[in-house]
Every structure is written in C-alpha cells, then in structure tokens.
Amino acid sequence: MDTSKFKYFFDCCVGNWETERTYHYLSDREVERSRTTFNVKPLTTEAKSKVLEDNQYLGASELSILPGFNLGFYTISEKGEEVSQNLNLLFVPKQENLPYLEGDYLRDRAYEEARPIVSHFRFDPRNRELLMTTNYTRVVSVDSITLINPNLRIRKILNYLRPSDGKPLEQVVLVGFGVEQKVSVS
C-alpha cells in the first residue's frame, strides 16, 4: 500500500493554523461565524498506544508509522462563546480501495461527546481530501479537509440527524465551511 501522499498530507498538517468558519444551523435558520486557532503536533508512540488503549482497539501494529496528532484548539464565535479542547487522534489505514485509502480514525476525546471514539476515514490522494465520518449518539458528522497546498486547507462539515440502522443519511441539521491557513509563530 503506497501511503506517501497520505503521509505528505499529515506532514503538512503539523503546525499552527487559523480558521474562519461559517456554520449554518438549518433547523433554527441561524448562521454563525467563528475563528479558531489550532496547534497541531505529532503524536508520540506512547500517546498513540494510549489512544488505542482508551478505545480498546486491537490489531494496530507499527505505531511509529501511523499518523497521529495532539490537537489543541481555541474557538471564539461572533457571539463571544468560547470553546477550548486538547485531544489526541490517530489514523489506522486498513484497506486500499483504489483510488482511496480507508481506515479507522481514533480519538481519546470526541468533539460532540466527551469520550473516546472510533470513526471511519477515507483519503483521496487525487485531490488530497480526508473525509471523516463519526457516528455520535444523535448525529452523524461528515467532516472533510482538503489540502490545497501546505499552507491552505478547505474544511466542510455536514451533520446529519442519526438515522435508524441501515437507513441513509438524509436530514442535514448543520453545514459548516472553513478556510484554514497555516501561520508562523515567532
């Protein structure tokens, strides 16, 4: 499995980022803007082991080559609401379904629910898009990050009401868009 473009994507993600986002809450017909600062650092092998342990995830080997991050972020909305989190995440490629690379995306703490969670990812090397799908209790979040160049990413977030098992995703409750730019720290 050639993972060089996958590795390049994650190498470019390390650093400090600033994001301008717009969220559309469809059920409330409300639009909200926010600004987020991210600090992304590579995850140590010990921290990768802890993420696997927290999720009771078996079968991952060669931890040193698995991409993982410590992600710290701070968000402030235009209404003055503030959110700050720090979490560890790990990507475990499982299969290559050309042209995609797919696998599991593990976090020691989920965004929507404060607990460890295993999600699904799909990476498309043709357009450098990472698509992450997380099944939360009430919603299914489909989050896309497209790497335009090493200093610019485009973010798209769709949250669906979680359907009954076996039913398709249909009812969108949130749509988010963001422009993420890498910033240098002096």
pLDDT means per 10 residues in the chain (186 residues)?
A: 84 96 94 96 94 90 90 95 94 88 93 90 96 96 97 98 93 97 82
Q: Helix (H, G, I), strand (E, B), or coil: what is residue 169?
A: coil
Q: Helix (H, G, I), strand (E, B), or coil: what is residue 48?
A: helix
Provide the domain count of the chain: 1
CATH of the domain at 60: 2.40.128.20
Q: Which domain holds residue 172?
A: 4-183
Q: Helix (H, G, I), strand (E, B), or coil: what is residue 5?
A: helix
Say which residues have a Cβ less than 8 Å from residue 113's Cβ, sequence separation at least 6: 136, 137
Say what the pTM is. 0.92
- Output the pLDDT for position 186: 54
| φ/ψ of residue 129, rounded to 5 | -110, 130
At 179, the amino acid letter reads V
| φ/ψ of residue 103, rounded to 5 | 180, -160
**In whole angstroms, how far apart are CA 148 and each of 61, 71, 112, 129, 181?**
31, 20, 27, 9, 10
Which one-letter DSSP state was computed for residue 50? Answer: H
